[in-house]
A and B are shown apart, each in its own frame.
Chain A
């Protein structure tokens, strides 16, 4: 079956612009997660959705970051007024309810802020 898909795969933007990153989870997976991976680092949790609700958004680094999920499926991560330190790979993962620690990742969106 289809895995987690993310778009775009690469995004280059100018400092100060807004960007939207999209995630399509595996069909039937109710949980969805966003992580950020800076160069040479492990993954840093951003936000978690169960259905369309976000019970844990504790990892969002600032109020410039927001995310939503609609229809229990697609999610969008929005970064407003991008800064150079936002440059990273943004990874989305999904999981089945009850098996939340077994998370399946998409290929990521590489964001470069110039």
Chain B
């Protein structure tokens, strides 16, 4: 079945540093989404990407839809303590359903 592989699994950074994480798949995706989940909460949609090569920003966050359609990247600039959480990539499931498949997440810790 479809699998999304996220790396790294976890990151420990200092406040103010830039962060980069990625998501890869063995199959082609036509949509990529990035979510953030904080403890005890549901995932929050950060960025949605719909076109290969697309680069989209949301504040200090920038995400890119890889031109091969098999990967996507999320960058966070000038990290702050509230960036702490787990970042998930997601894409449409197979079979024409509206379901999403998710990666296992990248856990980000920001040291003040």
Chain B contacts for A41, CB-based, 8 A: 104
B34-60 vs A, Cβ < 8 Å mask (1 yes, 0 no): 010000111111001000000000000
Q: Which bracket fits the contact residues of B?
A: 20 to 34
Instruction: Name A101's contact: one of B4, B88, B98, B103 (CB within 8 Å).
Output: B98
A75 CB, min distance to chain B CBs, angstroms: 15
**B85 in the interface, Cβ–Cβ < 8 Å?**
no
> What is the size, in residues, of chain A's interface with B at 8 Å between Cβ atoms?
27
Known contacts A48-B99, A104-B45; can you find 10 more A-B pairs with CB under 8 A?
A: A40-B104, A43-B88, A44-B102, A45-B100, A45-B101, A48-B98, A56-B99, A101-B48, A103-B100, A105-B44
Chain A contacts for B74, CB-based, 8 A: none
B80-112 vs A, Cβ < 8 Å mask (1 yes, 0 no): 000000001010110101111111110000000
- Residues of A at the B interface (CB closer than 8 Å) are 4, 31, 33, 40-45, 48, 50, 55-56, 58-59, 91, 93, 95, 100-108
Whether B41 lies near A107 (C-beta < 8 A) is: yes
**B33 in the interface, Cβ–Cβ < 8 Å?**
yes
